Amino acid sequence: MTPAIQRDNTEGSIVTATATRRTTKKKNQKSTRKPRAPKMVYVFGPDKSEGNASMKELLGGKGANLAEMTSIGLPVPPGFTITTETCAAFHTHGERLPDGLVDQVEKGIRFTEKASGKKFGDLKNPLLVSVRSGAAASMPGMMDTVLNLGLNDQSVQGLAQAMGNERFAYDAYRRLINMFGDVVMGVPHHDFEVAFDKIKKKYNVENDTDVPTKGIIELCEAYKKVYKKGTKKSFPQDPRVQLHASIGAVFGSWNKHTAVTYRRKEGIAGLLGTAVNVQTMVFGNMGDDSGTGVAFTRNPSTGKNEFYGEFLVNAQGEDVVAGIRTPRPVAEMPKWSKPIHTHLLKIRRVLEKHYKDMQDFEFTIETGTLYMLQTRNGKRTAQAAVKIAVDMVKERLITRDSALTRIPAGDLTQILLPHFDIATKKKNKAIAKGLPASPGAAVGNLAFTAKDAAQRNEDGESVILIRRETSPEDVEGMHASVGILTSTGGMTSHAAVVARGWGKCCVAGASDVIIDAKKQKATIDGKTYGPADTISIDGATGEVFGCELKTKSASISEDLKTILKWSDSGRRLGVRTNADSPEDAKRAREFGAEGIGLCRTEHMFFDPERIKWMRRMIMAENNAERRSALFKLLPFQRKDFQGILAAMKGLPVTVRLLDPPLHEFLPHEREQQMEMAKDMGITFAQVQQRVELLHEANPMLGHRGCRLSITYPDILRMQVTAITEATIACKKKKIDARPEVMIPLVGTKKELSMLRDLAIATIAETKKAKKYKGKLDIPVGTMIEIPRAAITADEIAGEADFFSFGTNDLTQLTYGYSRDDINSFLPDYIDQEILPIDPFQSIDSTGVGALVEMACIKGRSVKADLKLGICGEHGGDPASVHFCHDVGLDYVSCSPFRVPVARLAAAQAVVMENERNNSVKKTKKKSKRKKKATRK
Single out the catalytic residue among 87, 856, 871, 884. 871
Nearer to Mg ion, 474 or 785 (CB): 785
Applying CB under 6 A, the span of 32-40, 314-322, 474-482, 844-852 interacting with ligand ADP comes to: 314-322
Euclidean distance between CA atoms 244 and 231, whole angstroms? 17
Residue 149: which of 115, 110, 111, 109 has the closest Cα?
Answer: 109
Nearer to ligand ADP, 286 or 737 (CB): 286
Euclidean distance between CA atoms 796 and 788, whole angstroms? 10
273 binds ligand ADP (CB under 6 A): no
Q: Nearest approach, Cβ of 362 to ligand ADP (angstroms)? A: 4
871 is catalytic: yes
Residue 195: which of 221, 158, 173, 214 has the closest Cα?
Answer: 221
Applying CB under 6 A, the span of 218-226, 313-321, 399-407, 782-790 interacting with ligand ADP comes to: 313-321
Q: Nearest approach, Cβ of 808 to Mg ion (angstroms)? A: 6
Distance spanning both ends of the chain, measured CA to CA: 51
Nearer to ligand ADP, 282 or 884 (CB): 282
Nearer to Mg ion, 391 or 809 (CB): 809
Single out the catalytic residue among 419, 494, 663, 882. 494
Nearer to ligand ADP, 174 or 406 (CB): 174
Question: Cα–Cα–Cα angle for 110, 116, 117, nearest 5°?
Answer: 85
Instruction: Mark out the alpha helices in 283-326 (DSSP H runs).
Output: 318-322
Nearer to ligand ADP, 65 or 280 (CB): 280
77 binds ligand ADP (CB under 6 A): yes
Q: CA dist 267 to 562, 833, 898, Å?
A: 30, 11, 21
873 binds Mg ion (CB under 5 A): no
Residue type, 907: A
Give the interface size with ligand ADP as a residue count (CB under 6 A).
17
485 binds ligand ADP (CB under 6 A): no
CB contact at 8 A, 897 and 591:
yes
Nearer to ligand ADP, 321 or 633 (CB): 321
Site mask, ligand ADP, residues 347-386, x = CB under 6 A?
A: ---------------x-x--------xx------------
321 binds ligand ADP (CB under 6 A): yes
Q: Nearest approach, Cβ of 316 to ligand ADP (angstroms)? A: 6
Applying CB under 6 A, the span of 13-21, 315-323, 663-671, 745-753 interacting with ligand ADP comes to: 315-323
318 binds ligand ADP (CB under 6 A): yes
**Rounded to the nearest 10 degrees, how much is the dihedral formed by the CA atoms of 570, 572, 578, 580?**
90
Residue type, 642: Q
506 is catalytic: no
Residue of closest CB approach to Mg ion: 809
Euclidean distance between CA atoms 248 and 739, whole angstroms? 66
258 binds ligand ADP (CB under 6 A): no
Q: CA dist 702 to 373, 695, 839, Å?
A: 63, 10, 23
766 binds ligand ADP (CB under 6 A): no
How many angstroms from the chain centroid is the CA of residue 840?
Answer: 17
- With CB under 5 to 8 Å by kind, the binding choice for 785 among Mg ion, ligand ADP, none is Mg ion
Euclidean distance between CA atoms 178 and 193, whole angstroms? 9
317 binds ligand ADP (CB under 6 A): yes
3-state secondary structure of 558: helix
Nearer to ligand ADP, 292 or 782 (CB): 292
116 binds ligand ADP (CB under 6 A): no
- With CB under 5 to 8 Å by kind, the binding choice for 806 among Mg ion, ligand ADP, none is Mg ion
Q: Nearest approach, Cβ of 894 to ligand ADP (angstroms)? A: 37
- With CB under 5 to 8 Å by kind, the binding choice for 281 among Mg ion, ligand ADP, none is ligand ADP
* Helices (runs of H) and strands (runs of E) counted in the chain: 37, 34
How many angstroms from the chain centroid is the CA of residue 40?
Answer: 32
**What is the CB-side half-sphere exposure of residue 662 using CA atoms within 13 A?**
22
Q: Nearest approach, Cβ of 231 to ligand ADP (angstroms)? A: 23
Nearer to ligand ADP, 131 or 535 (CB): 131
Site mask, Mg ion, residues 784-803, x = CB under 5 A?
A: -x------------------
- HEC string of 30-62 equals HCCCCCCCCCCEEEEECCEECCCHHHHHHHHHH
- With CB under 5 to 8 Å by kind, the binding choice for 809 among ligand ADP, Mg ion, none is Mg ion
Pairing of strands 891-894, 574-578: parallel
CB contact at 8 A, 163 and 173:
no
3-state secondary structure of 99: coil
Applying CB under 6 A, the span of 273-281, 456-464, 693-701, 717-725 interacting with ligand ADP comes to: 273-281
Applying CB under 6 A, the span of 13-21, 276-284, 498-506, 872-880 interacting with ligand ADP comes to: 276-284
Q: Which of residues 282-311 bind ligand ADP (CB under 6 A)?
A: 282
- With CB under 5 to 8 Å by kind, the binding choice for 104 among Mg ion, ligand ADP, none is none
Residue 870: which of 810, 819, 794 has the closest Cα?
Answer: 810
Q: Which of residues 538-597 bind Mg ion (CB under 5 A)?
A: none
Q: Which long-range contacts (CB under 8 A, 24 or more apart) does 676-681 make?
A: 676/615, 679/612, 680/612, 680/615, 680/616, 680/619
Applying CB under 5 A, the span of 386-394, 499-507, 628-636, 780-788 interacting with Mg ion comes to: 780-788
Q: Nearest approach, Cβ of 329 to Mg ion (angstroms)? A: 19
Query: Taken in order 227, 230, 236, 237, is the CA torsion positive or negative?
Result: positive
Task: Please select the residue that binds Mg ion; options are 559, 809, 844, 890, rule is CB under 5 A.
Answer: 809
Task: Please select the residue that binds Mg ion; options are 490, 806, 876, 900, rule is CB under 5 A.
Answer: 806
Q: Nearest approach, Cβ of 806 to Mg ion (angstroms)? A: 4
Q: Nearest approach, Cβ of 278 to ligand ADP (angstroms)? A: 9
Residue 480: which of 432, 507, 445 has the closest Cα?
Answer: 445
Applying CB under 5 A, the span of 120-128, 192-200, 370-378, 720-728 interacting with Mg ion comes to: 370-378
Instruction: Mark out the alpha helices in 203-304 (DSSP H runs).
Output: 213-231, 239-253, 257-266
Residue 877: which of 914, 913, 838, 828 has the closest Cα?
Answer: 838
**Structural element, H or E, at residue 653:** strand 652-656
- With CB under 5 to 8 Å by kind, the binding choice for 279 among ligand ADP, Mg ion, none is ligand ADP
- With CB under 5 to 8 Å by kind, the binding choice for 709 among Mg ion, ligand ADP, none is none
Nearer to ligand ADP, 129 or 199 (CB): 129
CB contact at 8 A, 223 and 151:
no
Euclidean distance between CA atoms 283 and 150, whole angstroms? 14
Nearer to ligand ADP, 147 or 554 (CB): 147
Q: Bridge partners of 465?
A: 447, 484
Contact footprint for ligand ADP (CB under 6 A): 77, 130, 132, 141, 145, 147, 279-282, 317-318, 321, 362, 364, 373-374
Contact footprint for Mg ion (CB under 5 A): 374, 785, 806, 809
Active site residues per annotation: 494, 871
